């Protein structure tokens, strides 16, 4: 057990993706050359960003943009800011975006970007200067037909607005479709902010239908209470699910009778943490993963479910709101125990799906009512859920490998039809 856990901790986001890719690709009997091509990013960009800080110092920040695939369309993927951002992490997440877009069958390839910085220690002016210079450095490689960034960890609508404006100033006309996740006033889409959380609920609804369960008899624990976790908790609570536990990095709260989610949202808005909410019993951030529930929705960070705790997960359904919350060794344990896992590249694809809708609306200059956005999202997520589950049954593999196989098959098929330009 110790060595397995050590190997999990040492396994990077890219290595986890590659391990799952290799299993899926071999089950598809892809030749080694095509496997190598599909695993390898199309382009990796490293930039060094000089920024004048508020105190007059000149500081240099490292930035990355990895474009994994352009086979099915422009690259698509978020930009994250954080002190722990690495090129290897960005490389793995870019590949995950390729498979995510292919699973929900939208015409994008995958990309990811990042800047090594600590937003908590930066002023708004410093953040803006970092964002604008980063955008200028990668300007030749992004655009509505090339690569369309979006928000990710520690980035938001305002940062996307700065990216859009910087790009627009350089090309000398307003180009809203260069980026998604923008404010509504700048060409954003209705429903975008809730999209990832809503997508999690949609696929969870499908899992309940599969097992003949009803929302009102389904207890849910949400691990992580950022945008994805809080929106999923709110929407699921409003739909009739019983949210019995919520945790963020500060700690958690559990109430077997169900939490008052609106009161919790108000508390977190005022206190910036879940810890201390009086509506239930306090519980540890990781301990809550092992508590009684039918649905566990990890929406925080990677590798929280691993070989050290997978055998103690009590949930029957695991809905991965975060990217890579489950390690490859834990996958095998959960599968053997009969836990129904809805993998991240399916469960949290609502965000990129509505980003696609935003891109389409920007390009046509016509914006849809939120009801239309949600209806189209529901159609795509339900279709993708059924595609993955049926593929898994057909090939006798778990849902994650089924999702990878389906995605890889779609990208490989496109590449074979396009051929290799030389």
Catalytic residues: 112
Q: 149-167: b or e for each residue (b if 16 or more CB lie within 10 Å)?
A: bbbbbbbbbebbbbbbbbb
Residue 46, phi then psi, degrees to nearest 5: -115, 125
Q: 34-65: b or e for each residue (b if 16 or more CB lie within 10 Å)?
A: bbebbbebbeebebebebeeeeeeeeebbbbb
246 with 217: CB under 8 angstroms? Answer: no
42 forms bridges with which residues in the sheet?
none
CA 375 to chain CA centroid, nearest Å: 21
Token reading at 103? 């699973």
How far apart (Å, rounded) are the C-alpha atoms in residues 32 and 380?
32
Q: Considering only CA atoms, which of 147, 93, 116, 14 is closest in space to residue 345? A: 93
How far apart (Å, rounded) are the C-alpha atoms in residues 139 and 193?
26
Compute the CA torsion angle 331, 380, 114, 401 (nearest 10 deg). Answer: 20
Contacts 24+ apart (CB under 8 A), 151-154: 151/78, 151/79, 151/181, 152/77, 152/78, 152/79, 152/80, 152/112, 152/113, 152/114, 153/78, 153/80, 153/81, 153/82, 154/80, 154/81, 154/82, 154/119
């Amino acid at each position: 057990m110790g060595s397995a856990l050590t190997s999990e901790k040492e396994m990077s986001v890219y290595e986890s993706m590659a391990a799952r890719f290799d299993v899926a690709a071999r089950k598809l009997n892809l030749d080694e050359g095509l496997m190598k091509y599909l695993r390898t990013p199309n382009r990796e960009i490293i930039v060094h960003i000089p920024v004048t800080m508020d105190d007059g110092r000149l500081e240099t920040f490292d930035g990355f943009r990895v474009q994994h695939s352009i086979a099915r369309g422009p690259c698509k993927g978020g930009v994250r800011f954080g002190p722990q951002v690495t090129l290897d992490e960005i490389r793995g997440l870019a590949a995950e975006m390729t498979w995510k877009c292919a699973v929900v069958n939208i015409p994008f390839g995958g990309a990811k970007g990042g800047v090594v910085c600590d937003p908590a220690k930066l002023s708004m002016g410093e953040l803006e200067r970092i964002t604008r210079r980063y955008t200028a450095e990668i300007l030749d490689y992004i655009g509505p037909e090339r690569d369309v960034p979006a928000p990710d960890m520690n980035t938001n609508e305002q940062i996307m607005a700065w990216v859009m404006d910087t790009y627009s100033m350089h090309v000398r006309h307003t180009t809203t479709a260069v980026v998604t996740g923008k404010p509504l006033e700048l060409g954003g889409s209705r429903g975008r902010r809730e999209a990832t959380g809503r997508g999690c609920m949609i696929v969870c609804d499908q899992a309940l239908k599969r097992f003949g369960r009803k929302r009102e008899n389904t207890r849910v624990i949400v691990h992580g209470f950022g945008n994805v976790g809080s929106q999923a908790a709110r929407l699921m609570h409003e739909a009739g699910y019983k949210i019995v536990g919520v945790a963020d990095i500060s700690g958690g709260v559990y109430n077997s009778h169900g939490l008052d989610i609106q009161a919790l949202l108000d508390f977190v808005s005022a206190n910036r943490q879940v810890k201390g909410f009086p509506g239930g019993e306090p519980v540890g951030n990781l301990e809550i993963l092992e508590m009684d529930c039918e649905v566990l929705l990890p929406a925080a960070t990677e590798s929280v479910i691993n070989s050290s705790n997978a055998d103690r997960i009590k949930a029957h359904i695991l809905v991965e709101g975060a990217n890579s919350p489950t390690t490859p060794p834990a996958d095998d344990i959960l599968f053997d125990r009969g836990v129904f896992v809805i993998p991240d590249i399916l469960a949290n694809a609502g965000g990129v799906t509505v980003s696609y809708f935003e891109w389409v609306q920007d390009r046509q200059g016509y914006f849809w009512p939120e009801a239309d956005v949600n209806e189209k999202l529901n159609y795509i997520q339900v279709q993708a859920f059924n595609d993955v589950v049926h593929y898994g049954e057909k090939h006798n593999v778990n849902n994650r490998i089924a999702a990878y196989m389906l995605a890889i098959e779609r990208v490989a098929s496109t590449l074979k039809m396009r051929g290799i330009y030389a």
